[in-house]
Chain A
Amino acid sequence: MTSVNREKIASAVLIVGVFVLWEVACLLFGISDLVLPRPSQVIVTLWERWPALMPHAVQTLYTTLLGFALGVSAGVLIGLLIGSSRLAYNVAFPLLVGFSSIPKVAVVPIFVLWFGSGTVPAVLTSMIISVFPVVVNMATGLATTEPELEDVLRTLKASKRDILLNVGLPRAMPYFFASLKVAVTLSFVGTVISETVASNRGVGNMMLLASSNFNVPLVFAGLFILAGLGVALYVGFSLIERRVTGWANRKTDFAAG
C-alpha cells in the first residue's frame, strides 16, 4: 500500500516539477513566448479563451468517441469472425497485417476526396485507426484456448456457441480491454490529424489557425486540451479494464486488498 502511494506522490511531484522547470527556464533564459510560452501563460490563455475553446474541445471529443465506437464495433465483429475459426485466422491474418502497417495518416486525403472536409473524414480516420488493435487482440484472445480445456468441453457436447460464450469471450476480455486503451489513444490521434488537414472545427483545426496567426500560447493551450482529453480517456478505460478483468491481474492486485 505505502509503496504504491509513494509512487503516486512521486509521479505527481515529477509532473509539477517539469512544469516548474519549464517556467523557470523560460524566465531565466528570457525565451520569447513566440517560441515557447511559459506554462502559466498557457493556463491564463486557457482560462480567458475557454468559452471559445470549449466548442472545439467538445467537437474533438465527440469525433474521437464516435470514430472510436465505430472502430471498436467493427473490430469486435471482425475479431470474432477471425478468432473463432482457425482457418479464418490463418487466411485473414496476412491481409490484416498488411492493412495495419499502412500509416493511417495517408488515408486522410482519400477520405477528404470521397466525403469532403469536415467531421466525416475525422470520424472515419479515428475509426480506421482504432480498428486494428481491437481486431488483432480479440482474434488472438479467442484463438488461444487450451486444447485440453476444449477437449473437456467437447466431451460435454458443448456447441461452438457454448465454447465462445463460456470460454472464448471471457478469455478474450483482458486482450480486448488492453486494446481499448491503445485504440482510444490512437483514435484521438486520428481525429486531430484529420482536423488539422481538413476541417474548420476541432482542436486540431484551432491550433492550425492559431499558429498561422503566431498566437503561440493559444497553440499550446490546444496542446494542453489534447493532453488532458487523452489522459482522461486513457484513465477512463484503464478503470473499466480493472473492474471487468481484475482476474487477469491476479495476485499483484488482490494480495494488497
Chain B
Amino acid sequence: MFLKNSTPAETIALTTPAEPVKPGAVYPVIEFERVTVRYGKDAGATQALAESSFHIDKGDFIALVGPSGCGKSTILKLVGGLIQASDGHVFVARREVGAADVRIGMAFQNPTLLPWLNIRDNVMLPLKIARPFRDEWRSKRKGEYRDRADALLESVGLRDFGEKYPWQLSGGMQQRASLCRALIHDPTLLLLDEPFGALDQFTREELWATLQALWMERRPTVLLVTHDLRESAFLANRIMVMSARPGRILMDERVDFARPRTLETTYQPEFTSLTQSLRNLIVAARGGMAGHP
C-alpha cells in the first residue's frame, strides 16, 4: 500500500556524516503541542491555528496542504521562530523554539533576491550572516565559500550565472538561485512556502527533481507548503492536510513511492488516486463543490 497512517519512518536513512543515527530510531526535530495561534487582540482576533499537535522526524520531507488561509504559512513562521504561539508549545530540536540551535533555510514564492548583488553573492548571503560561518566570512568568501556557492549553483543548472544580476535571470532561474540561498549554509531545517507557486508547469516539474536530488544528498528536514497536490505527492514522505481556518490537521499520510521519483511516478494509478483523494479532502474541507477545478 502506498498510504499508511503515520507509520514511523523505518526506511529513512537519517545518517549524516557528523552524527551517526541508529536505524529505526525516531528523532522528532519539530514538536507541536496543542499549539494555537491568534492574530490580533480580543474581539478582532483571527484564529489561524487551533490546538494542533504533531511531530516531525529529523530528515523527513513533509508537505503541508490545505485550503487558502488555513494557517500553513503560520506553521512555517512558528517553526522559524518568527511568531509566537498564543497557546501551547513549539519545540525545535527538543528546545523551546528560539532557544534551539538549528540552522534554518527559507524560501518563498517570490525569490526575494537582492538586486544589487550578483547571483553568487546573493547565494552567499547566509554565510555572511549566520553563525558559525560569519566568523570566517572575511577569510573564506573568496575561496571556500565561493566554491561552495558555485557548486550549488551548478547543481541547479546555473553554472554560468554566478556573475549575473537577478534581473538578468528568468523567474524560474531566480527561484533556483533562491533555493541555493536557502541551502548554502547546510540548514538542518528547510522551510519552503509555495516555492514553485509562480512557475509554469514544466519549470516546476524540473525543480521538483532538483529539490528531490538536493534533499536526497543532504537530508535536511523539509517543510513544504504547497497548493499543488501532485507536487506534494511527488516530493514528500508525508503529507499533512489541514482544515479550513482555524487550521487543524485533518489527515496525516505517509507517501512511500520509491526514490528517486520521476515523472513516470506521477502516471502510476496509485499516484493519481492519492492526489485525487487529497483533492476530495481539501474540497470538502473548504466546503466547496467537488467537481470545480
Using a CB–CB cutoff of 8 Å, the interface residues on chain A facing chain B are 146, 148-149, 151-158, 162, 166-167, 170-171, 173, 245, 247-248, 250-251, 254
- In the complex formed, the residue of B with least CB distance to A167 is B114
Chain A residues near B128 (CB, 8 Å)? 166
B155 to chain A, nearest CB (A): 20
Check A156 against B104 for contact (C-beta < 8 Å): yes
Interface residues on chain B, number (Cβ under 8 Å): 27
Q: Contacts A153-B129, A155-B105, A166-B129 given; 17 further ones with Cβ under 8 A?
A: A148-B110, A148-B112, A151-B80, A151-B108, A152-B181, A152-B182, A155-B81, A155-B104, A155-B191, A156-B104, A156-B126, A156-B185, A157-B131, A166-B114, A170-B114, A171-B114, A250-B167
B38 within 8 A of A: no
| Chain A residues within an 8 Å CB radius of B131 | 157
Give chain B residues whose Cβ lies under 8 Å from the Cβ of A152.
Answer: 106-108, 112, 181-182
Nearest chain B CB to A133 CB, angstrom units: 22
B82 touches A (CB below 8 Å): yes
Name the residue in A149, A152, A154, A250 with the highest tally of chain B Cβ atoms < 10 Å from its Cβ. Answer: A152
A148 x B108 contact (CB < 8 A): yes
**For A153, A248, A251, which residue has the most chain B Cβ atoms within 10 angstroms?**
A153
Q: Which of A155, A247, A251 has a CB less than 8 Å from the CB of B106?
A: A155
- Closest chain-A Cβ to B264's Cβ sits at a distance in Å of 35
A155 contact from B82, B115, B168, Cβ within 8 A: B82
B161 proximal to A (CB < 8 A): no
Give A172 Cβ to nearest chain B Cβ, in Å: 11
Contacts of B114 in A (CB 8 A): 149, 166-167, 170-171
Binary per-residue interface labels of chain B (136-174) against chain A in the complex, 1 for a CB within 8 Å, 0 otherwise: 000000000000000000000000000001011000000
The residue of chain A having its C-beta at the shortest distance from the C-beta of B128 within the complex is A166
Judged by a CB distance under 8 angstroms, whether B116 is at the interface is: yes
Which B residues fall within an 8 A CB radius of A?
77, 80-82, 104-108, 110, 112, 114-116, 125-126, 128-131, 165, 167-168, 181-182, 185, 191
Which listed residue (A151, A166, A167, A245) contacts B82, Cβ 8 A?
A: A151
Q: List 7 A-B contacts (CB under 8 A).
A: A148-B108, A151-B82, A152-B107, A152-B108, A152-B181, A166-B129, A171-B116
- Say yes or no: A151 contacts B77, CB within 8 Å: yes
Kindly state the separation between the CA atoms of A1 and B68 in the bound complex, as whole angstroms. 49
**Which of A157, A170, A171, A247 makes the CB contact (< 8 A) with B165?**
A247
CB neighbours (8 Å) of A154 from chain B are 80-82
CA distance A149 to B80 in the complex (A): 13
A247 engages B115 (CB within 8 Å): yes
Across the interface, A247 reaches (CB within 8 A) one of B77, B110, B116, namely B116
Closest to B113 in A: A149
Report whether B80 and A251 are in contact in the complex, using a CB–CB cutoff of 8 Å: no
Kindly list chain A residues whose C-beta atoms are within 8 Å of the C-beta of B182.
Answer: 152
Q: Is there an interface contact between A155 and B116, defined as CB atoms closer than 8 Å?
A: no
Question: CA–CA, A254 to B165, complex, Å?
Answer: 11
Residues in chain B near residue A153, CB distance under 8 A: 129
What's the nearest-Cβ distance from chain B to residue A253, in Å?
Answer: 11
In angstroms, Cα B99 to Cα A157, docked, is 11
- In Å, the complex CA distance between A248 and B165 comes to 11
- Distance in Å: Cβ of B193 to nearest Cβ of chain A: 8
Docked Cα-Cα span, A170 to B116, in Å, equals 7
How many Å from the CB of B183 to the closest CB on chain A?
Answer: 12
Distance between B101 CB and nearest chain A CB, rounded to angstroms:
10
- Closest B-chain residue to A255, C-beta based? B168
Whether A151 lies near B106 (C-beta < 8 A) is yes
Residues of B within 8 A of A248 (CB): 115-116
Min CB distance A71 to B, Å, is 26
Best-surrounded residue of A156, A166, A171, A245 (most CB of chain B within 10 A): A156
The 8 lowest CB-CB distance pairs between A and B, nearest first, are: A155-B104, A247-B116, A156-B130, A149-B112, A155-B80, A156-B129, A148-B108, A158-B129
Complexed CA–CA distance, A247 and B113 (Å): 13
Whether the pair A146, B167 counts as a contact (CB closer than 8 A) is no
> Contact: B116 with A162, CB < 8 Å?
no
For the complex formed, measure the closest distance between the CB of B13 and the CB atoms of chain A, giving whole angstroms: 26
Residue contact B129 to A146, C-beta cutoff 8 Å: no
Say yes or no: B165 contacts A146, CB within 8 Å: no
Bound Cα distance A162, B125 (Å): 11
Taking a contact as CB atoms under 8 Å apart, the answer to whether B112 and A146 are in contact is yes
When distances are taken between beta carbons in the complex, the residues of chain A under 8 Å from B110 are 148
Report the minimum CB–CB distance from B142 to chain A (whole Å).
18
Residues on the A chain within 8 Å of B107, using CB: 152
- Give Cα A7 to B71, complex, Å: 55
Residues of B close to A245: CB separation below 8 A: 116
Q: Which of A157, A167, A247, A254 contacts B130 (CB 8 A)?
A: A157
Question: What distance in Å separates the Cβ of B21 from its nearest Cβ neighbour in chain A?
Answer: 24
**Inter-chain contacts of B112 with A (CB < 8 A):** 146, 148-149, 152
